[in-house]
Amino acid sequence: MMPQVELEVTRPGSEACLDTVAEEVPVAFEFNGISHTVMLATPADLKDFALGFSLTEGIVERRSEVFDIEVEEAPEGITLHLEIAGGAFAKLKERRRSLAGRTGCGLCGAESLTQVMRDLPPVAEGGTFPLDALKEGMRRLPQLQMLQQTTGAVHAACHVAADGSISHVREDVGRHNALDKTLGALARVDAKPEGALIITSRASFEMVQKAAALGYGILAAVSAPTAAAIRLADKLNLTLVGFLRGSSCAIYTHAQRLQGTTP
């Protein structure tokens, strides 16, 4: 299944023509043969999505607990069949639920208020990171957002290294899905939680939680954070950056981790 399709569009003052439109399909997660949840997502990088979602939602604690991922396409959507360790599956069954996740859903799967705030340890302090690298990463990212260039309808996430180079760019109609895909891609190559993450969306509570769940200490967003995201980032020792555009940004928590913040 392709991540985009050609559909007819009518623009005032011109004849009907074809337009490239981002796909959005139901993606069902099935763990050890048991249906878990359904998300609306872009049908690309689905194994990254499967692993990233499993890790960031706490279904598994480490990559080694996911034994196999199979992608099955059907007319009504896509099913991701995951085989996970018995211990992880036993914990999942304790909080199992069945629900549909909308494209923008970030807490899909929490069936009670106590499940919203996961008990995560603070991110390790680590070393410092150049603020200029974040700015350079954001400058480079649009050039690699291929699906966004053709459809204008998707978010992206990526990893940024200290030299400003970016990698593991993933796109999706859902901003949480894009971050899950990037984190899954990093986990699949056993990447250490170093460097920073960039997202082309607002920074909300669950985006901070996903980054911290995999040990990343810097999350930078092109748009604004929410108050809940700021409070959680402060608690989890995560550096949260918003409005990362051009040469400007706003650092909301733990600015000491970024080099070049002194006026």
Contact 51, 69 (CB under 8 A): yes
Quick one: 105 exposed, middle or buried, by C-beta within 10 A (0-12, 13-18, 19+)?
Answer: middle
Q: Which of 17, 105, 108, 249 is catalytic?
A: 105
Contact 250, 239 (CB under 8 A): no
**In whole angstroms, how far apart are CA 57 and each of 61, 146, 184, 206?**
9, 27, 12, 10
105 is catalytic: yes
**In whole angstroms, how far apart are CA 113 and each of 107, 250, 262?**
10, 30, 40
User: Can you say whether the dihedral through the CA atoms of 37, 169, 63, 217 is positive or negative?
Assistant: negative
User: Can you say whether the dihedral through the CA atoms of 248, 254, 258, 260 is positive or negative?
Assistant: positive
Residues in the chain: 263
Catalytic residues: 105
